[in-house]
């Protein structure tokens, strides 16, 4: 069964540095997402991406964050100047159709990757 893959599994970065987290969504999926989970807290939505533009974002997703689909397979999350509070597990997800549309309507689940653990020192 196709999977969402994320690299690296663990990233250690100095505070203030830029970091890029990489994801390869499932190949025929059109919608892409980033979530994060700070240790001991809930999984939180960051952003969704469709047709080469952001379709929805949360308050967390401020100017220090950006997303990009640089080619036909990768989907990246960039954090420009990392802060200690950016330390978290970051999950990428993808879905085939827009939730609520397509065959099966709302039955278009988001498929998640294993996550990248980001540690800011």
Partner 1 sequence: AQTVTQSQPEMSVQEAETVTLSCTYDTSESDYYLFWYKQPPSRQMILVIRQEAYKQQNATENRFSVNFQKAAKSFSLKISDSQLGDAAMYFCAYRPPGAQKLVFGQGTRLTINP
The footprint of partner 1 (CB under 8 A) covers 3-4, 31, 33, 35, 41-45, 48, 55-56, 58, 89, 91, 98-100, 105-107, 109-115
Nearest to residue 94, comparing CAs of 105, 108, 115?
A: 108
User: Is the link from the previous residue into 8 a cis peptide, with omega within 30 of 0?
Assistant: yes
Minimum distance between the CB of residue 70 and partner 1, rounded to whole angstroms? 21
Minimum distance between the CB of residue 59 and partner 1, rounded to whole angstroms? 11
Exposure class string for 64-88: b at 16+ Cβ within 10 A, else e: ebebebeeeeebbbebeebeeebbb
Which of 3/18 has CB closer to partner 1?
Answer: 3
Minimum distance between the CB of residue 44 and partner 1, rounded to whole angstroms? 7
Which of 4/19 has CB closer to partner 1?
Answer: 4
Spatial distance between the Cα atoms of 16 and 92, rounded to a whole number of angstroms = 23
Minimum distance between the CB of residue 77 and partner 1, rounded to whole angstroms? 15
């Amino acid at each position: 069964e196709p999977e969402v893959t994320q690299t690296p599994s663990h990233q250690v970065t100095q505070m203030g540095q830029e970091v890029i987290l990489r994801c390869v969504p499932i190949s025929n999926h059109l919608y892409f997402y980033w979530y994060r989970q700070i240790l001991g807290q809930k999984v939180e939505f960051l952003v969704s991406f469709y047709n080469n533009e952001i379709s929805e974002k949360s308050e967390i997703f401020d100017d220090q964050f950006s997303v990009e689909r640089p080619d036909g397979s990768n989907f990246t999350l960039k954090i420009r100047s990392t802060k200690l509070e950016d330390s978290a597990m970051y999950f990428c997800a993808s879905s085939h159709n827009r939730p609520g549309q397509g065959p099966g309507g709302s039955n278009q689940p988001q498929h998640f990757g294993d996550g990248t653990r980001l540690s800011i020192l």
